[in-house]
Structure 1
């Protein structure tokens, strides 16, 4: 069976999904990585008052005209204002208020002179140079205007977003319900980490890997215990779990071997096969099916192949389902450091490290090897029918 292109697979699946419309109101501390349901407009000015950006004295700029080292101007200090206080005075001619960083400026003042440029003598301050109006002066609303659109709906909230929301006095925010993603690995050879390793068995790494990745993306992984290669049992388990899920991801059983059971599982579920095989390596065997209105994506059992197809196919689809405003995959270009001495007959994804425009390839990149992903932050996207790639060649990368 001829595979479809990577972009075709993403488009086909994206057209099949339904956006999660449910939302909930959560405390800011629980909102990191969540997707905003509605536009957020600033309810107040920021700063909410005219304030000083430094320690010094607040003055009327006109009172400093003509000040120099030979003829300093002397000001009477009528008040000291710290951050968190409100000034109780209005400046008159020749008067100053000693002021600290972040404190509200007193009425009548239009400039601040830093304290290093002031000579203090008791309740007087001498200034040896003139200043322009609004020097060292932070205006009310200089950062944010009241009513300004601050964060657009569907934005995935970062620490910076949460800090801005807190600065607006917001302690709760409406976010889209987290996507519930089922994870199930299949294979007689799999055992749970923590158990003694039996001969011929391997530890199930895929479930842990993908569950952690989903958590990083602000989604809820619902882990289904690894299943043996029994199509009847797997089909029953899927039917049992699918009502609790928004989408199901499985790993293993998608190639053409005697134990590749997911093709038979489709028949037992009476599901609709959307495609099988995508023109990329690793991860060519990926089975997409539709059960009612829900999607099931069955990825390769090889750890790196599973990760590559998750990042290139599942991740953009999950992002769209959860209402994220940005679209994956995030692409860039870089210059290859070192050569890649393999001919790529198929479109190939290899792991790499992207740093300031340079791309480095680890020594080992077999699809069954996961350890060389440590320290990597991208996939290098190599087109089909590409010969050996020389050092210094520009390459396309997909950021992880």
Structure 2
């Protein structure tokens, strides 16, 4: 059995990045860049009007003759004199010798001339060429997350394809004779299986939108067969249940029989002690406890950073924050505790129902208080470390 920090270190050492793929920009949402991108053009590529109004050469005069029109998409070759202006619209090309745009609300106009009633400052409402970015400048560094705004920015620069790290293919294997699918009648002695949908939802928060769920009974032969097939096809395998030391817990034996190298088994923590972490070539395997709260805790603490690292994120762990305790905590277990909690701007409160089988308070928790294994008492008012869940 190892300590939490050692477990995290081993996982980090084995969570190598996925291979690189080229992908269309419009399909890259949620991916991580595998390259630094440089701008092929200046943006804007020409001087643009920031307003609907009139472009002119700034001077002391207020009256100007209107000699033409510049709409978005036009490229006007008009050269203005000091007493001349051109009707212009937002995003349109500003004539080379015009230096200022007055918004239309600040003029009195007819077809041939304008009178400026409120004179703008020199250069106002003119977007300079390259105002956003110059040709050859860095658009995004490698390891940047592609967001909707990033997609828009890349598209406006004319970039249609980028190199990103692939997202890992993830499988979830659920074990247990007692489990039945939600939706039907619940037979005596059975429980509804919830871990797979919970873990799939948690994966989606990282950006893994698709994962495959498999089920197997508590049987060594069947578990070995299921894992043999899954390990060939997936980059990350999450096993739910069957990893403790009961008579019907066959997962560890089945994993070892399939050539999975055990990197650690059992962590000195509560909840979530009976967890297995291993690898077969580049495939990572997390055998999580069957109890739902334990399973989700270990997902947030261990699986989450591993998958983010494989996806190419540099900042892989959930955010840690500091808050003041609303009540005292006693830890006589010698284990690291992860306690479901609710925090606000200044304080944090430990929730009821901390059992590893209970999701009722986990469902409203926004954090996990981390109580180190060598800390026996945390007093009310003391500052503690939280793992933020949102």
- TM-score, structure 2 as length reference: 0.89
Instruction: Supply the distance in 2 between the matched residues of 1:219 and 1:209 (Cα, whole angstroms).
Output: 13
Matches within 5 A, 1:94-113: 94-113=83-102
Structure 1 residue 120: Cα displacement = 1.9
Q: 1:310 aligns to what SS in structure 2?
A: helix
CA separation of 1:175/1:307 partners in 2, compared to 1, >3 Å: closer, same or farther?
same
Q: Which moved more, 1:92-101 or 1:326-335?
A: 326-335
CA separation of 1:243/1:395 partners in 2, compared to 1, >3 Å: closer, same or farther?
same
* CA-to-aligned-CA distance 1:297-336 (integer Å, 9 cap, x gap): 1111111211111111111112222222322232222345
Instruction: Supply the distance in 2 between the matched residues of 1:383 and 1:271 (Cα, whole angstroms).
Output: 30
Name segments (4+ residues, structure 1) moved above 6 Å.
Answer: none
Do residues 47 (structure 1) and 44 (structure 2) align?
A: yes
Matched with 1:387 is: 377
Q: Which moved more, 1:225-234 or 1:306-315?
A: 225-234
Structure 1 residue 360: Cα displacement = 5.1
Instruction: Supply the distance in 1 between the matched residues of 2:43 and 2:364 (Cα, whole angstroms).
Output: 40
Matched with 1:16 is: 14
Matched with 2:78 is: 89
Structure 1 residue 51: Cα displacement = 1.3
CA separation of 1:302/1:128 partners in 2, compared to 1, >3 Å: closer, same or farther?
same
Matched with 1:339 is: 327
Do residues 210 (structure 1) and 207 (structure 2) align?
A: no
Structure 1 residue 244: Cα displacement = 0.6
CA separation of 1:239/1:113 partners in 2, compared to 1, >3 Å: closer, same or farther?
same
Structure 1 residue 215: Cα displacement = 3.1
Matched with 1:115 is: 104
CA separation of 1:126/1:169 partners in 2, compared to 1, >3 Å: closer, same or farther?
same
Instruction: Supply the distance in 2 between the matched residues of 1:131 and 1:142 (Cα, whole angstroms).
Output: 20
Structure 1 residue 372: Cα displacement = 2.8
Matched with 1:373 is: 362
1:44·1:145 contact (CA, 8 Å) conserved in 2? yes
Structure 1 residue 14: Cα displacement = 2.6
Instruction: Supply the distance in 2 between the matched residues of 1:163 and 1:386 (Cα, whole angstroms).
Output: 52
2:48·2:128 contact (CA, 8 Å) conserved in 1? yes
Choose from 22, 28, 39 the match for 1:31: 28
Matched with 2:316 is: 327
Structure 1 residue 238: Cα displacement = 0.7
* CA-to-aligned-CA distance 1:358-395 (integer Å, 9 cap, x gap): 545544433222233334443232333243552x5433
CA separation of 1:56/1:219 partners in 2, compared to 1, >3 Å: closer, same or farther?
same
Structure 1 residue 118: Cα displacement = 1.7
Structure 1 residue 293: Cα displacement = 5.1
Count, aligned residues: 387
- Computed over aligned residues only, the root mean square deviation of the Cα atoms, in angstroms, reads 2.5
- TM-score, structure 1 as length reference: 0.87
1:81·1:100 contact (CA, 8 Å) conserved in 2? yes
CA separation of 1:107/1:375 partners in 2, compared to 1, >3 Å: closer, same or farther?
farther
1:156·1:324 contact (CA, 8 Å) conserved in 2? yes
Matched with 1:58 is: 55
Q: Which moved more, 1:279-288 or 1:75-84?
A: 75-84
1:20·1:323 contact (CA, 8 Å) conserved in 2? yes
Structure 1 residue 103: Cα displacement = 2.0
In structure 1, runs of 5+ residues without a counterpart are 68-72
Do residues 5 (structure 1) and 3 (structure 2) align?
A: yes
Instruction: Supply the distance in 2 between the matched residues of 1:221 and 1:129 (Cα, whole angstroms).
Output: 58
Instruction: Supply the distance in 2 between the matched residues of 1:173 and 1:193 (Cα, whole angstroms).
Output: 41
Matched with 1:70 is: none
Instruction: Supply the distance in 1 between the matched residues of 2:364 and 2:108 (Cα, whole angstroms).
Output: 55
Structure 1 residue 41: Cα displacement = 1.2
In structure 2, runs of 5+ residues without a counterpart are none
Choose from 221, 225, 239 the match for 2:228: 239
Matches within 5 A, 1:277-292: 277-292=266-281
